[in-house]
Amino acid sequence: MRAIAAQIGHISQGLLTSPRAGRRILEMLREAPEGSLDQIIETVDLPKVLASMRRTGLHHRPQAVDLLLRERVDELSLDSIAQVVSAMHRGRTSRHAQEAIVEVLTRHTGEDFDTLKNFLNSTGDYHDLEHLVFEDLDEDLSDRLLEHIAEEAGDNRGGDIRVLSDIDDTVKCVIHDRRYPRGTIYPGVVSLLTKLDKGAAEEPGRPGDLTFVTARPGGPRGLIEQYTRGKLSYLGLPPHSVMGGSFLNLHTKGAIKDRKLENMDRDRLLFPEARMVFIGDSGQADGDVGAEMHRLDPDHIVGTLLHNVTDLDEAAREAWAQKGVHVFDTYAGAAAHAVRLGLIRVDQAREVAEDVRVGLRVLHLTPEQRERLEHDLAADVAAIDALDEGAESRGSSESGGSNGGS
Question: For 151-177, what is each residue's pLDDT tens digit?
Answer: 998 876 666 888 999 999 999 999 999
Kindly give, in sequence order, each residue whose CB lies less than 8 Å from that of residue 71, ignoring residues fewer than 6 positions away. none
CB distance 382 to 339 below 8 Å: no
Last residue of a domain, one of 106, 130, 153: 153
Say yes or no to pLDDT of 338 above 60: yes
Same domain, 232 and 103: no
Domains in the chain, number: 2
Name the nearest CA neighbour of 253 among 224, 225, 283.
283
Same domain, 170 and 72: no
pLDDT band at 406 (very low <50, low <70, confident <90, very high): very low
Indicate whether 402 belongs to any domain.
no
Indicate whether 354 belongs to any domain.
yes
- Among the residue ranges 31-35, 127-131, 215-219, the one predicted with the least confidence is 215-219
pLDDT of residue 386: 96
Tally Cβ neighbours within 10 Å of residue 234: 8
Parallel, antiparallel or unpaired: strands 301-307 and 210-217: unpaired
Indicate whether 403 belongs to any domain.
no
- Among the residue ranges 56-65, 182-191, 199-208, the one predicted with the least confidence is 199-208
Indicate whether 229 belongs to any domain.
yes
- Hey, which residues does 172 pair with through a beta bridge? 168, 185
Same domain, 322 and 193: yes
Mean pLDDT over all residues of the chain? Answer: 82
Q: How far apart are CA 362 and CA 354, in angstroms?
A: 13
pLDDT band at 191 (very low <50, low <70, confident <90, very high): very high
Indicate whether 406 belongs to any domain.
no
Q: Which domain holds residue 75?
A: 2-153
82-103 residue pLDDT tens: 989 988 887 778 999 999 999 9
Q: Supply the CATH number for residue 271's domain.
A: 3.40.50
CB distance 112 to 78 below 8 Å: yes
More confident site: 143 or 229 = 143
Distances, alpha carbon 203 to alpha carbons 57, 166, 197, 209, 329, in Å:
49, 27, 12, 15, 29
Determine the average pLDDT of the residues in 223-234: 56
CB distance 284 to 256 below 8 Å: yes
pLDDT band at 127 (very low <50, low <70, confident <90, very high): low
Q: What is the pTM of this model?
A: 0.80
Q: How far apart are CA 208 and CA 271, in angstroms?
A: 12
Name the nearest CA neighbour of 351 among 331, 327, 374.
331
Last residue of a domain, one of 153, 169, 197: 153
b/e burial code for range 184-218 (CB count within 10 A of at least 16 → b): bbbbbbbbbbbbbbbbbeeeebbebbbbbbbbbbb
Kindly give, in sequence order, each residue whose CB lies less than 8 Å from that of residue 21, ignoring residues fewer than 6 positions away. 11, 52, 56
Same domain, 286 and 317: yes
Last residue of a domain, one of 134, 153, 172: 153
Parallel, antiparallel or unpaired: strands 325-328 and 161-165: unpaired
pLDDT of residue 34: 87
